Structure 1
Amino acid sequence: MVSPGVVGIFLLSALPLLCLELRRGIPDLGIKDLILLCGRIFLLLALLTLIISVTTSWLNSFKSSQVYLKEEEEKNEKKQKLVRKKQQEAQGEKGDEELVLENGSQTSFETSDSREAAKRRNLPKPLTKISPSAEQPTQKKVLDLPEEPPETAEEVVAIALRCPSGKVLRRRFFKSCSSQVLFHWMMKIGYHTSTYSLSTSFPRRPLEVQEGWSLQDIGITVDTVLNVEEKDHSN
């Protein structure tokens, strides 16, 4: 729609032209010519009004589309910010849950180890008499474990002990290290050699360890998993 101000401006601009034309042609113009002149002027004004109306409508629609696009962009930005905020909150809650689960798993491992230790304390004594030295060796025989070599060191193997409680412990040793260190490690984590033994996984067989033999001598040249098993005292 054309505003009344625009129509008024065009009418005021056409009025001087009409007066000038009437002043020049009053002696020669008749009533019919005057009517035709007025009709032409009004037809021209109508045509200009139509052009202005179409142009104004197009400009208004263009402005409306720009405003609509801008509003849509703002809505999309708000939605993206809301989605990012929800994702951050979800990640934070997930991190808290993982921390709780990790603490819970650690507590369960500690509980399992405690139960396993209590079970070992309450084990019935075997019928066969075991000498005190074999039943509980002196503390001097349990040597300290050697310092763990770095990952980048050469001639190193990684050994994992799978405990009866389900817990898996890993440690690195030099291949030249004494094979007795495996039993020292097993006793250090709470599994005594009088009750537990070590065996290979594939094939499953008891691990043969002798004094003076290195890890390489007993066949441990690559990363290996060993099982901590309870000895059978029925025999």
Structure 2
Amino acid sequence: MSNRNAVVFCVVLAGFCFISWKRSIIGVKDALMLAGRGLILLAICTLMIYIFQRLKSFFSPVCRELPASPLHESTRLKQEQARINQQNKHSEKTSDYAEAVIKPRQNSLHEQKMERYHRMTGETWKLTQGFTVGDETETHDDDDLDINETPIQRAKRRRRLQTAAGVPIQQEVPKQKMVIVLPDEPQPDTAGVVKIALRCPSGRTIHRRFLKTWSSLLLLDWMKKSGYPPAIYTLCTSYPRKPLLMAEDVNLEDAGILMDTVLNVEEKDPSTT
């Protein structure tokens, strides 16, 4: 019940009480009692209406979803498109950073690990570029040059020409393989005996006994026979680390080997060779 209805109810009740009093239907005391009861009834009705409205607002949703207007829909679409464009820019920046920084860094770390692995296993030849088999740099006359001719066919043709001209064919003399023969190991109780250990890049360690009076070049022969050619590898002392002095007229004692020693087989620095 609204305030207007309450006012109307009060006016009607007051008029009814005044008319009843004028016509002596009821007395003054009864009229006042009737008015009081009416006011009490009005207060009770007003309180019930107030409580009902509060309960209705409590159980009903707080806000209702407003219908989407065309302006609001266009604004939402623009915000969504701006969000998508920003996400695409972030994705492009992430992919560019991965291509320019992360992948080269990972490739560099992988190459360093592979290089370290090949050096530890003694397979440093895998780190070189190598050369093309069958690549020949020979000059030919313009009449004899054939682009589609293979090196084997070219060699056969030259051999036929030499046979027809009576030129003896030079046979390649096979190179004699040098056999490394080390002297027998002396007995442990022999005077001047030292035990030398070679720590190889592959991780293994080999031992052998030598005499101090023997030439230091025997260590190079021993290293080469173990699979490490002196052209690529060298011998270094453990501590202090320095290359071992080796020459034909230098024996082991002159090289500084006076007791049992451990030598490291290390790869030569290409810049110093």
**Under a length normalisation based on structure 1, what TM-score does the superposition of the two structures give?**
0.43
Higher relative contact order by CA 8 Å / sep ≥ 6: 1 or 2?
1
User: Counting helix residues as a fraction of each chain, which structure ranks higher?
Assistant: 1
> Radius of gyration: which is bigger?
2
